[in-house]
Chains A and B, each alone.
Chain A
Amino acid sequence: MPESSVRPASRRRFNAGSVATHAVLSLGALVMVFPFLWQLLTAAKSLAETAKVPPTFLPDTWNWSSFEEVFTALPFKEMLFNSVFNTVGRTVGQLVFCSLAAYAFARMRFRGRNVLFALFLSVLMVPSSLLVLPQYDIIQRLGLLNSAPALFLPGMFSAFGTFMLRQFFLTLPKELEEAARIDGAGPFRIFWSIMLPLVRPALAALAVITAMWSWNDLLWPLIVNTDPEKMPISAGLTSLEGQFETNFPVMMAGSLIASLPMLVVYVFLQRHFVQSVALSGSKS
């Protein structure tokens, strides 16, 4: 088939197809993003305006009092702080504990390694509902109910994180370790100053995904911290519903503030989010 007879036709089809593709994709993107736009617009309306039929799209007057109301109705500042504490605690814990274990599993030889690793991996398959009753008892016995550590203690240990980091450690060349060993570096020194910096992308990916799960977690905080002052924002937000049954501007303002920190993290570290999800998809 002569080149020239194919080219123009296929190019025209390509352009029309490209427009159609963008149309479909944009429509989908609108469905994904519109609820957040509506959330913001509602938060900026007065209570009376939200009860209008048909609804107004833009607020008649932009009114931000709902945001203030959220902070007076709930110990919102404390809740946000508890969320930060919970998120940092779990993330730092996982980075430390998982990277240490992952390094040993990937790069060191020791008796029982494979059995231990299999045992650790089995944690991945246990649904959390099988664990939370006794976990609650443990926290209670430690006298930690309604405390900040209660939120993050069990979440500091992760089989997923260990598995993911181990995959990364496995890819590093052996020569680095051997050279360091000849120079007299001990195992911890090799881990800390040579190997760990090399898996930084994996650490970043693990950090953002752990931060996201921690910030968004609901079941565990609902169980251990029932005092509003000690709740993270995920659990605290649920009480807004009982208090403000039909006051949608306040509920939208509250949910907006509560989800904003993670969205900001997402905007700045998007690459790592995508990386961590793509990794979890390809490595398992």
Chain B
Amino acid sequence: MSVFPSTAAAKAAGRRKPAAGAPAPGSRDQRAAYLFVAPLGIGFAVFYFWPLLQTFFYSFTEFGAFGGNTWIGTDNYVRVLKDVTVWQALGNTLIYCVIGLLALPIAIGVAALLNRRGLRGVAVYRALYFVPFVTLPVAVGLVWNWLYNGDYGLINEVFEWFGADRRYWVSDPSTAVYAIGTVMVWSTTGYYLVIFMAGIKGIPRDYYEAAELDGAGPLRRFFTITLPLLSPTIFFASVICMINSLQTFDLIYIMMAEKNPAIGDTQSVVSLFYKWAFVENAQGPAAALAFLLMLIIAALTLVQFRLQKRWVHYA
């Protein structure tokens, strides 16, 4: 008995297909679709959309000592833009971004080497390079702090062996930001490697074989085949890399102890945001700083999308 209505519905669905319109509102399918989307929609509304509006509101207010916010217009933004620590944090963040991008050429190089025909152990290499990315960043930070340690760290031993001076890598303001940046590169290379290996897999083998028959050496093949055909993937990876490194927080938080003299020279925008918002109770300026960061991320992403026309080849 129940077969009839549902066949009718199926026929109706079949007839609807060519038309672009949605089924009648209130139909069983419509209601089901909304029920499917509702849990996520409510979650997003509560934990994403509402907070976003709220932060925007916070950025124009001052938090009272006993709760309640007062509207203070753009004062927080003015304060943020006038604060030298903000500019320093911004500078540090851009340094992290530039250093972080170094993971890409390294990953491309490794991916190209792994692409060698008949190479054994590809899966093993990939697995090993990926381990730092999977590892808890806090643990990674602690291990590298120990390696960087000025008195007993292994890195100083290596440098001394080469005749260089010992250094306090993470507390020396002139090296700390690069020390942290190096760890960033180390821990993300495997991630980009996997992305590039997937990208290279999509390049037809025939191209390489044809080039080889024409006498193109490995370097030539890399620059004329791999690199151009991988450029959409490189573009995607560089956007991801930039967005992530502009939001660096974990490694800095763990590697820089509270009394580290190089804190100002290493703290990122998100580190500063965390300090203002949750340590110093300066929620208003913190909210303004968060919007500033978002604007910077959006602007740099836009620049990347503009520039892509010059170097990305879409087959």
Contact = CB atoms under 8 A, between A and B. Distances in A.
B174 interface: no
Interface residues of B, number: 106
B136 A42 contact: no
Contacts of B72: none
Interface in A239-274: 240-242, 245, 248, 251-252, 254-256, 258-259, 262-263, 266, 270, 273-274
Contacts of B9: 181
Interface residues of A, number: 105
Contact of A97 (B40, B52, B114, B297): B40
Interface string B180-213: 0000001001110011011100100000000000
B43 A29 contact: no
A251 to B, nearest CB: 5
Contacts of A183: 6
B140 to A, nearest CB: 8
A123 B44 contact: yes
A282 B199 contact: yes
B247 interface: yes
Say whether chain A's binding surface is mostly helix, strand, loop, or mixed. Answer: helix
A218 interface: yes
B52 A126 contact: yes
Interface in B44-64: 44, 46-52, 54-55, 58
A165 B289 CA distance: 34
Contact of B194 (A53, A235, A251, A281): A281
B168 interface: no
B12 to A, nearest CB: 11
Given A17-B218, A50-B152, A135-B47, A281 B233 contact: yes
Given A17-B116, A120-B40, A255 B22 contact: no
Contacts of B41: 101, 116, 120
A22 B121 CA distance: 9
Contacts of B218: 17
B244 to A, nearest CB: 10
Contacts of B189: 32
Top 7 A-B pairs, shortest CB-CB distance? A157-B43, A134-B51, A255-B139, A281-B195, A134-B54, A104-B36, A278-B198
